[in-house]
Amino acid sequence: MSSNTTNTSTSSYQVAENAYFSSNPPPKALPQHVAAAESFINQHAAANRRVVLVTSGGTTVPLEKQTVRFIDNFSAGTRGATSAEYFLESGYAVIFLHRQFSLLPYSRHYSHSTDCFLDFLHENPDGSVVANPAHQDKMLRVLRKYNAAKRQNLLLMLPFVTITDYLHELRAVAQLMRPLGPNGLLYLAAAVSDFFVPAERMAEHKIQSTDATDMLKKQGPTTVTKESREQPQQDEEAFDNFDSSPAVPRSKRLIVDLDPVPKFLKNLVDGWAPEGMIVSFKLETDPAILVHKAKYSLERYQHHLVIGNLLSTRKWEVVFVAPGHEDNWIRVPFSRRKKTITGTEETDQKNKENEPLDPATLPEGEPEIEIEGLIIPAVEELHAKHIKTAAARSGSK
Ligand code: 9Z3
């Protein structure tokens, strides 16, 4: 790429960045989060410790400023919360930038909706409450690790809710990580919305479903529009309201008009955290395009590693796509035998080493081991190389 092209594209990224951040206000908690992250980073930079920023969970897309309704996505934050634990185990200090109320490191073992917290407790005859004996060993191990991380101030939790909150927080924390140089690692596992309603087009108040208030006030500009209000009712297509009330006109529909979220991932490399190692995740649902899309992201954003995963198999396999490396599929070991409808077992030969798994061949339920236990050591190895290369480069200057 010529330097000319680089300059042009850098400045267009800059323009998009300035426009986005100046027109979509930051979360109220940003100044406190920045202060907490700054002192956390300073402490660990002084100890020459590696620091990872783990992003985790989904991002909401509010439809109203005083938000009653929002668009959301599936992410529970399992990848991020689990990865944070393995990073702590590997000696990293972790900034955990997570969607509020998504899973958290350590407490995730007891807060998942399938495992009710109260089932882990037991009442003694004297009325005291203790851990259920069946869970005591694991709970003690988890509790000790959690307390050790807290005692040594190795885990900083920063919550966000909306896509805009997330982007403000990501930019601010990434910029604070600059002094860490190559010791900083960004591990972007949050499921980030690609679309949003810009602040200038967002309704202030709850979007009304009836015209009962039309006489009281005129709504400001809103992206979520009722179609053709002015259109004479008789011209309108009517549709069934699915109950005993009369058919309703087209103007009662809610049309949501979303803008694309500007792609800031390149800015991480160009300006926010230029020396740190950047690992981003690419999520797809179609196995036929996963590797292609991961490579496209790598090329486009110039990150050091893109980890591709499919929604349906994300707990079983991921693919590492990195410049100068062969694609590296990481899989939890599992028996390729699966029960057929008749109850007999058959071996599935369809899965190939360098292709996505066929979800139909996977065993029922969760894998026996957590794939993050394989992902983090592999990321750590690449990070160690990144640090070494940076040291060699600065030594040769
Ligand atoms: C991921 O791909 C994560 O692995 C998952 C984890 C969100 C699938 P869970 O939270 O799921 O454990 O339930 N994260 C990145 C998704 C994403 O939004 N990537 C962007 C994209 O695909 C690029 S950063 O365009």
Output the pTM of the full model.
0.89
Q: Atom 11 (ligand 1): residue with closest C-alpha?
A: 75
Domains of the chain, residue spans: 3-121+136-199+260-396, 208-253
pLDDT: is 89 or 8 the higher one?
Answer: 89
| Three-class secondary structure assignment of 332-394 | CCCCCEEECCCCCEEECCCCCCCCCCCHHHCCCCCCCCCCHHHHHHHHHHHHHHHHHHHHHHH
Residue reference for tokens 């990321």: 379
Distance 75 CA to ligand 1 centre (A): 8
| Whether pLDDT at 239 is above 80 | no
Cα–ligand 1 centroid distance for 397 (angstroms): 38
Backbone angles phi, psi at 336, to 5 degrees: -80, 5
| Ligand 1 midpoint to CA 190 (Å) | 5
Report the 10 Å Cβ neighbour count for 327: 13
Ligand 1 pocket test target in 54, 59, 73, 79 with most atoms within 8 Å of CB: 79
Q: Would you state the CATH architecture of domain 3-121+136-199+260-396?
A: 3-Layer(aba) Sandwich (3.40)
- Residue 280 CA: which ligand 1 atom is closest? 24
Atom 20 of ligand 1 has which residue's CA nearest to it? 282
Probe target for ligand 1 pocket from 60, 75, 193, with the most ligand atoms within 8 Å of CB: 75
Question: How many A from CA of 298 to the centre of ligand 1?
Answer: 15
Q: What is the per-residue pLDDT for 339?
A: 45
Output the ligand 1 site: residues, CB below 6 A: 75-79, 188-189, 191-192, 280-283, 309, 314
Atom of ligand 1 nearest to the CA of 82: 12
CA of 187 to the centre of ligand 1 (A): 11
- Ligand 1 centroid, distance to 23 Cα (angstroms): 26
For the CA of 188, the closest atom of ligand 1 is 24
Q: How confident is the model at residue 336 (pLDDT cuts 50, 70, 90)?
A: low
Beta strands (DSSP E) in 147-276 are 155-160, 184-188, 195-196, 224-226, 238-239, 248-249, 254-256, 259-260
Mean pLDDT of 163-173: 97
Q: What is the pLDDT of residues 20-76, one digit of tens each?
A: 999 999 999 999 999 999 999 999 999 999 999 999 999 999 999 999 999 999 999
What atom of ligand 1 comes closest to residue 79's alpha carbon? 12
Kindly report, residue by residue over 181-214, the tens digit of the pLDDT. 999 999 999 999 999 999 999 999 999 987 777 7
How many whole angstroms separate alpha carbon 166 and alpha carbon 261? 12
Hey, which of 282, 300, 304 would you mutate to test ligand 1's pocket, going by the most ligand atoms within 8 Å of its Cβ?
A: 282
Task: Report the mean per-residue pLDDT for the chain.
Answer: 88
